[in-house]
Amino acid sequence: MEKKMEKSKLIVIAIGGNSLIEDAKHVSVVSQYEAARKTASHIVKLVEKGHRVVIAHGNGPQVGFILLRAEYAKSILHTVPLDSCVADTQGAIGYQLQMALLNEFNRVNLSKQVATVVTQVEVHPEDPSFKKPSKPIGSFMSEQDAAEHRKQDGWDVMEDAGRGYRRVVASPKPVSIVELETIRTLLNNDIIVIAAGGGGIPVVRHTDGSLEGKEAVIDKDLAAALLAKELKADMFVISTAVEKVSLHYGRPEQVDLSTITLEECQQYVDEGHFAPGSMLPKVQAMMDFVTSTGNVGLITNPENIYGALYDDKGTKIVEK
């Protein structure tokens, strides 16, 4: 069994936007809050142990809802730029997580404060993804609607496996967290922080130092890994839909992994064990963190976040 963690560790936890939507029949704001409350209850256990926590979250489904509303309302309202959509979800999801955490703290008689930081994440203006957008967002469209958006709104659109057309945008790599010092100051004052939601609001910095928002989507796990590195976190946790990372996932010969080294991670990546749109970016983000810091990373589902630290649940990624 792994050595028990000491108190006062700084832990960055990345939770998926799908963590707030338990199934397709429960997507209302009320249902999303209930899902947030369940996740918060597991995170509060870590705070009770004395750990400092930063929470990053996904926002894929929620941005999709905003874009769909905008599509229905386009005849009477202006469209919402994608960077503003990300900012909107940072506020809305941050609010749900803040309230859920405060309610859980109240339930266990723990006096803690929580703050959400609307977070800009700098990307390079010459990132290759801007020249070849490939990240699908929003709902499916007919060929006619796709052509109209391409002409009127300048969208890049792509046919998706015979199911219709979708808008595609750039997904540049995160370079730096603009509000890093704000986040650090809050942590130093013992405040639980929610930051870099949805991978952060993508911005580019001009030669005069000014910032400008970009229509793009930053991978949430890569942004959370960057945040964990820049904060020099003691541990980085990615919360996902499964308890452990697996080889041959979903097959009779599936093998669940408890502890894997960086060398083993690279071998499994090279062998194609992890799906590009699912586990692969999580493993790669974790490898980046462990390589840079030498600290331990964890991948598990929300209900095993505490158990991954104390009861050998989840999958640990270690240097060697």
Please tell me which residue, 161 or 94, carries the higher pLDDT value: 94
Closest CA to 179 of 91, 116, 94: 116
The pLDDT score that the predictor gives to residue 162 is 77
| Whether pLDDT at 7 is above 70 | no
> Mind listing the pLDDT tens digit for each residue in 262-313?
999 999 999 999 988 789 999 999 999 999 999 999 999 989 999 988 888 9
The pLDDT score that the predictor gives to residue 6 is 56
Residue 153 counted as domain residue? no
**Number of domains present in the structure of the chain:** 1
Residue 93 counted as domain residue? yes
Residue 113 counted as domain residue? yes
> Mind listing the pLDDT tens digit for each residue in 73-112?
988 998 889 999 999 999 999 999 999 999 999 999 999 9
CA atoms of 286 and 292, how far apart (whole Å) = 10
Closest CA to 83 of 209, 13, 194, 172: 172
What are the DSSP calls for the chain, one per residue? -PPPPPSS-EEEEEE-GGGG--STT--SHHHHHHHHHHHHHHHHHHHHTT-EEEEEE--HHHHHHHHHHHHHTTTTS----HHHHHHHHHHHHHHHHHHHHHHHHHHTT---EEEE---EEEE-TT-GGGTS--EEEEEEE-HHHHHHHHHHT--EEEE-TTS-EEEEEB-PPEEEETTHHHHHHHHHTTEEEE-SGGG-EEEEE-TTS-EEE-SB---HHHHHHHHHHHTT-SEEEEE-SSSS-EESTTSTT-EE-SEEEHHHHHHHHHTT-S-TTTHHHHHHHHHHHHHHH--EEEEE-GGGHHHHHHSS-SEEEE--
CA atoms of 96 and 31, how far apart (whole Å) = 11
| Whether pLDDT at 4 is above 80 | no
Residue 164 counted as domain residue? no
Residue 144 counted as domain residue? no
Give residue 18's pLDDT band: very low, low, confident or very high (50, 70, 90): low
Please tell me which residue, 237 or 60, carries the higher pLDDT value: 237
The pLDDT score that the predictor gives to residue 138 is 82
Is residue 123 within 8 Å of residue 202, measured between CB atoms?
yes
- Write out the catalytic residue numbers: 17-18, 135, 220, 282
Residue 190 counted as domain residue? yes
Mean pLDDT of 234-250: 93
Give residue 193's pLDDT band: very low, low, confident or very high (50, 70, 90): very high
> Mind listing the pLDDT tens digit for each residue in 102-156?
999 999 999 999 999 999 999 999 999 999 998 888 888 889 988 988 988 889 9
Lowest-confidence segment of 24-33, 92-101, 165-174, 189-198 by average pLDDT = 24-33
For residue 296, what are the domain limits? 10-122+178-311
Residue 152 counted as domain residue? no
Mean pLDDT of 161-185: 94
Q: Which two tokens stand for residue 244?
A: 């452990």
The pLDDT score that the predictor gives to residue 17 is 66
CA atoms of 66 and 85, how far apart (whole Å) = 7
The pLDDT score that the predictor gives to residue 3 is 45
Residue 196 counted as domain residue? yes
Residue 68, sorted as left (phi over 0), alpha (psi -120 to 50) or beta, turns out to be: alpha
Q: Other C-beta atoms within 10 Å of 162: how many?
A: 5
Please tell me which residue, 161 or 226, carries the higher pLDDT value: 226
| CATH code, 210 | 3.40.1160.10
